[in-house]
Amino acid sequence: MNDLGVIFQKSVLDNGLVVVSEAVPYLKSIALSVFVKVGSRDENEDPPGVSHFMEHLFFKGTTRRSCADIAQEIDAIGGLFDAFTSKEYTGFFIKVLDEHLETAVDLLWDILLRPLFAEEHVTGERSVIIDEIRMVDDNPEEVVHEQFNEAFYGNHPLARPILGTRESVGAMRRDDVLRYYGRFYKPDRFVIAAAGNVEHDRLLALLAVQASRQPLTGVSVRMVVAPPVAHFGTLTRQRDLEQIHFTLGFPAPQQDDPDRFPAHLLTSILGGTMSSRLFQIVREEHGLVYSIYASRAAFHDTGYLSICAGCAPEVLGQVLSLTADIIADLKRDGVEEAELERCKQQFRGSFLLGQESSSARMTSIAQQEIYFGRRLPPEETLQEVAAVTLQQVQDLANRVLRSEQLCGVFLGPLDESCSALAELRL
């Protein structure tokens, strides 16, 4: 692709903070973020859920702004302000018109460098987050996904739910938050990313003004945790539901693995789109499910490919049998040229449409900095996807989709259908 007029720049400040920007002059917006390289997998010696708990507290007020002030200030400029917690990083982002960049920088710096973490806010957020956990517990699709992570990664921190548990959140103390903040919220873990109608030098100047008022110093604690080891087998959980929900997972390439693009296309062919094999055969041809799909999760040292579905108990055996046949056919006969080309074009279209969004560009350059330490030019990504061969996809399918490295989790009324689990042979 010809990314005319787009200029990428990167600066590493003396304190270790990384600033990346992608100037897209034909946009009117700027998406600005701070990605902090700490997430739930870093809670090795801390209460489960503290990363996410802190994400909530940052919006409760600073030494300069109340919670209401933060909300009113972003609304007054027509901006969007949000945050999220993942397994490996926590993100805070604002999207504004380009004329409001200075305000956006000031808001982000303020909430991250001057948080109150007040005792009353800690007390209040306990009940809010426990209610969020209850909401997840009411969604069997999310429950089975969390149970799959626990089964697949065992005792490793990656197995833990990002939200924590009702018990860990209910026992969260202000001291836990302050200790975690002091250990990890240091400049060497910060990536500031901006995309849109932004000038890199102006962004650096605005950050320098903020740092002169409230410096960001120190070095974060480096955790030494053994790489995760995948666990295999079948786990069943009884629950009074109308459907049986299941996740079948297999070890798959990590974020920076050379096979990440064949893995993406394999996932797409298997169940990543409406034209995928699982969707067309299990849903469209046989009408056995409303939802069935494949997805891929990738971290810096591990990953998995999963198949998720929900079905009536009486058809579980058929759904599993069809799934096994689809996988066996893919491994034995490979992928058709037209099928692979369709998935490549689907990737290309989705990727290029994302380039029209300042938010998508911002997220992309931040994640690339975290996992690769550099920007991956769009043309490089498209060329690598276009170069994936039929043989690469089939070889990966044969390495990944194997019965002996399957982890399956089933949730629902399983009393009369447990025998169907034995029917899945790949």
Beta bridge pairs of residue 62: 115
Query: Closest Cα partner for 96 from 194, 191, 17, 26?
Result: 194
- Cα dist from 276 to 282, 294, 317, 424, whole Å: 10, 9, 21, 20
- Active site includes 55? yes
Question: CA–CA separation, 301 vs 127, rounded Å?
Answer: 34
Coil, strand or helix at 150:
helix
Determine whether 204 is exposed, middle or buried from the number of CB atoms within 10 Å of its CB (0-12, 13-18, 19+): middle
- The values of phi and psi at residue 7, to 5°, are -125, 120
Question: CA–CA separation, 244 vs 239, rounded Å?
Answer: 9
E strand spans, 168-288: 190-196, 233-238, 244-251
Question: CA–CA separation, 258 vs 329, rounded Å?
Answer: 25
Determine whether 292 is exposed, middle or buried from the number of CB atoms within 10 Å of its CB (0-12, 13-18, 19+): buried
Alpha helix segments (H runs only) across 154-220: 166-170, 174-184, 200-213
- Cα dist from 81 to 10, 216, 344, whole Å: 24, 22, 33
Two tokens at 350? 């989705």
Q: Which helix (H) or strand (E) holds 30?
A: strand 29-36
**Which residue among 55, 88, 146, 339 is the active-site one?**
55
Q: What share of the chain is helix, strand, coil (3-state, %, to 5)?
A: 50, 20, 30
CB atoms within 10 A of CB 249: 24
Question: CA–CA separation, 337 vs 186, rounded Å?
Answer: 49
Spatial strand order of the sheet with 289-298 comes to 233-238, 407-412, 244-251, 303-311, 289-298
18: left (phi over 0), alpha (psi -120 to 50) or beta: beta
Residue pair 406/248 in contact (Cβ under 8 Å)? The answer is yes
Residue 296: DSSP 8-state: E
Q: Which residues are catalytic?
A: 55
